[in-house]
Amino acid sequence: MIKRILLIAALAFSLPALAASNAPWGSAKVLPIEYAKQKVVYDTAVNSVAALTSVLDRASYLSQINGADPFDNKIMIVLHGGEIDYFAIRNYPKYKALMDRAQSLTVGGIIEFRMCRIAAEGHGYQPQDIHGFVKMVPMGDAEIVRLQHEGFSYMR
């Protein structure tokens, strides 16, 4: 009983000090979680270099924290929006750094880019107009559904 009273008193005296600070709940705790064997499909339809860069950053980091093992991990980035223009061969001089980065992510075989052919045609492109590290699929939405049936988790 005395231990319980002392514990309550100690908490009562520390609460005002915590409440007066900028961190009344303390700081976040880091959970020791390891990730592996993930299959992910990113549904990508963005309209800015910054937004596509964010997708590339997230996919790259996910690959790294999963151990970058091509047998256990696969990340598909399905392109079907405004970002299609960045992948056009004719726009390479303008988006060189972005495309060099995107292509470099495909080297290990974990990250793959798939582009909706219907959306590409809507932007005025045929397969021969798109960089060779990209694979064309008939329809982006159908590819996302197909990949989910194959066990890929959906990311936006």
Q: How confident is the model at residue 4 (pLDDT cuts 50, 70, 90)?
A: low
Per-residue pLDDT at 42 exceeds 80: yes
Reported as a pLDDT band with limits 50, 70 and 90, residue 71 is confident
Res 12 pLDDT > 70 = no
Q: What is the pLDDT of residue 20?
A: 55
Average pLDDT over residues 128-154: 97
- Token duo for residue 73: 């991990």
Q: What is the pLDDT of residue 66?
A: 81
Query: Residue 48 CB: number of other CB atoms within 10 A?
Result: 11
Query: How high is the mean pLDDT of the chain?
Result: 89
Ranges of each domain in the chain: 39-155
> Is the CATH code 3.40.50.720 the one for domain 39-155?
no
Q: Average of pLDDT values for 30-37?
A: 85
- The amino acid sitting at 68 is A
